Chains A and B, each alone.
Chain A
Amino acid sequence: MLNLFRKIIKTGRVTEHYDSGPVPPRFRGEVVLEESRCRNCQNCREACPTGAIAFIDGKLIIDNNACIFCGRCIEVCEHNALAHTAEYRLAELQGQLAGKIKSILHRSLNIRHIDAGSCNGCDWEMTALNNPVYDLQQYGIDFVASPRHADMLMVTGVVTRNLAQALAMTYEATPEPKLVMAVGACAASGKVFGKSYAIRGAADTIVPVDIYVPGCPPRPAALIYGLLLALDRLGGKHK
């Protein structure tokens, strides 16, 4: 027992604010376009494994929700028009529900996780939110065991045929008002594995989604950013 106390005291405090952690130089964040350099060759569109790149009216559009941040588009671009930035705060809010949630929930949020068909990458990053470094509870946010106790569902993975019913039933079981967050490229776009007999699509093909968090998987800091955005607690600090 004494050894245990010694170890705890020796380790000290390790908790960080979510965006005080370093973003390493090799980190592959948002892909941005230098428009003047783009020659419309569309090599990047063909190279993209998830179909995240489209040319609409001759303009290159990157769908962050479908991007897996692999960097293939940047490699094949002969004109150096594309580049990664260190930006990981890519979560986007949809609809009007968020304000309502804020007025009811104030500064606390209880989350229920649903794996709708993920590779477990996003799930492990959500687990990491509970480690002492990110310590999600410092923001008044916690994971709960039942949808009956939840204010938000965090959905990971493409919705598989075998889980569509479980996802719909879990949503039904969650009391109003409720938020749904689609975590990672699979849940946000449903495109990562292409067309398959076993896949129904993105989370929003089964339940309405309020927040989309891109990434493959999103790093824990990106998840916390998404959560604080949903709670309207960023105070205009970012974006």
Chain B
Amino acid sequence: MTSALQVIPAATLRAAATVASHNGQYRLTAMFANDERPVHGYFAVYAIFTGKGEPACKTIKAIIKQDEPLEFPSLTPLMAAAAWYEREIHDLFGLVPFGHPDLRPLVLHENWPHGLYPLRKDFRPDMPVPEGGGQYPVPSVQGEGVFEVPVGPIHAGIIEPGHFRFSQAGENIINLEAKLFFTHRGIEKAVEGLPLPMALYRTERICGVCSVSNTLSYAHAVETMAGAEVPARGQYLRVLAAELERLYNHVGDIGNLCAGVGFAAGVSHGSRLKEQLMRLNERLTGNRFLRGWVTLGGVHMDITRDMAQDIQQTLTGVTRDFAELLGLLRNNDAFLDRINTTGILPYQAAVDLGVVGVAARASGIDSDVRRDFPYAAYRDFSFSVPVYTSGDVAARLWVRADEAVESAKIVGQVLDSLPSGNFKTALPPVKPYSTAFSLTESPRGSNLHWLMAGEKGTIYRYFVRSASYPNWPALTVAAPGNIIPDFPLINKSFELCYACLDR
């Protein structure tokens, strides 16, 4: 995609962001900081905007010199999407976004000592960190008959950890406050200084079910820096991997949605079909989550003619079965009654929060990275992007259903036109302190990875913004007004990763 870089002093960030957003034509896609003191003598705050104009991407780099006060004007009053990014920058770098309405800790919890910033370069990984005894104030709603329901971080099912605080009037949710980042592993810091190929294995493990998408984003960024051209067969096989990942996720997610309404037969069929797809993954790559397929410069292994046939056969069976499952759901009034008009995310809220992926398309935003900023071999395939406007649980379910069908079609096209030749190329060396970023469409939405190389092909700074990052705050918009028993259903329909978000 085409991109433009603008370097400005931090004090003018708000004005520059106003111009870059171009009356809302460009949306804030990511914001992060970088400690460039050892290289350039300053801290930098990056804000990346993407839109459908020319250039497709505008990056603002705001500079905070060492001897200046460590602060920058907050963008949150202008664009709600900036809120979490700025809290994260405040936590990890100690740069203060002045004018931010809510600077509670986000990534580091109250167990972290005040005044210690782990992503600064002078913080060494082996430094002992004492236990902090801070507070995490949670806003609550006061009034007669209003009560609070605390949930988590350990939940009642097999699910990732997060803490939710519901303010309730009877069964109705008045307010939802989510405290997350429990699975924060500090991956961005832990990969600093590692050789680029070695960090790939950690990238692959940021999230179990977005493994291919995350690895692809990372590989694209490295390949851009190195100026490498991935051979056509490699590009096609990457599309195949990405679509197989979308398929098993979407099919499984639709099954899981049935669990939200207690429709056991739907759960069984969904999980059975997901199992068939995961076994296909294991036959192709040796790993049920497709790990180890995508590598720097292409893919790690080829598929044989038998495997292509196996894919085709498995998908034919699964899509037929899946259509039958959808037929059961479409005609089930009890099911439709639970999902229609439940957990509505309005269009404007989705735009303001920068929501991506299935959740965005279900609220009427027509965006898909595969079509808008094509990568790998997506230019060569025809597929449609389903858009619904009701913004409810049902819309998110039908977007997934339609997308799964499209994915199967893309896989068919890949297998029909798979070019011969190499599937991998060697990477030329990467220039020190060069930067690159990349967007890919995971089953949950766009994943953005930003990289700055260090000396001798190592990592200087790695930033990951997963699809779940802008989508999580949307859940707290969609839940209020619904009854608490519908919350698991609403939550499932967004299908938010905690691991991707927390890193």
Q: Which residues of A contact B (CB under 8 A)?
A: 3-4, 7-8, 11, 14, 21-22, 24, 26-28, 49-50, 68-72, 84, 113-115, 117-128, 130-134, 143, 145-147, 157-158, 160-163, 165-166, 170, 192-199, 216-217, 219
Contact = CB atoms under 8 A, between A and B. Distances in A.
Interface centre among B190, B191, B274 (most CB of A within 10 A): B190
A145 B157 contact: yes
A49 B268 contact: no
A201 B149 CA distance: 32
B158 A113 contact: yes
Contacts of A26: 282-286, 301
Contacts, number: 186
Given A3-B327, A143-B157, 17 more contacts: A3-B331, A24-B279, A27-B282, A69-B287, A117-B185, A121-B208, A123-B160, A127-B271, A130-B158, A161-B112, A162-B183, A163-B182, A170-B154, A193-B190, A197-B118, A198-B118, A216-B205
A160 B184 contact: yes
B269 interface: yes
A217 B290 CA distance: 11
Nearest to A114: B154
Interface residues of B, number: 66
Contact of A160 (B185, B198, B285, B286): B185
A125 to B, nearest CB: 7
Judged by DSSP, the binding face of A is loop
A200 B185 CA distance: 9
B208 A115 contact: no
B19 interface: no
Given A115-B183, A193-B205, A120 B127 contact: no
B123 A197 contact: yes
Contacts of A118: 160, 183, 208, 499
Contacts of B181: 162
Among all A-B residue pairs, the 8 with the closest Cβ atoms: A121-B208, A198-B186, A131-B271, A145-B156, A196-B186, A26-B286, A49-B201, A196-B190
Given A131-B271, A197-B118, A8 B160 contact: no
A14 B272 contact: yes
Nearest to B111: A161
Nearest to A113: B158
Contacts of B127: 197
Interface string B200-242: 0110011111010000000000000000000000000000000
Contacts of B288: 125, 217, 219
A105 B160 CA distance: 28
A184 B157 CA distance: 19
A120 B189 contact: no
B54 interface: no
Interface centre among B181, B194, B206, B287 (most CB of A within 10 A): B287
A128 B281 CA distance: 15
B129 interface: yes
B209 A124 contact: yes
A217 to B, nearest CB: 7
Contacts of A133: 272, 275
B319 to A, nearest CB: 15
Interface string B4-27: 000000000000000000000000
A48 to B, nearest CB: 10
B328 A4 contact: yes
B268 A132 contact: yes
Given A160-B182, A162-B184, A119 B206 contact: yes
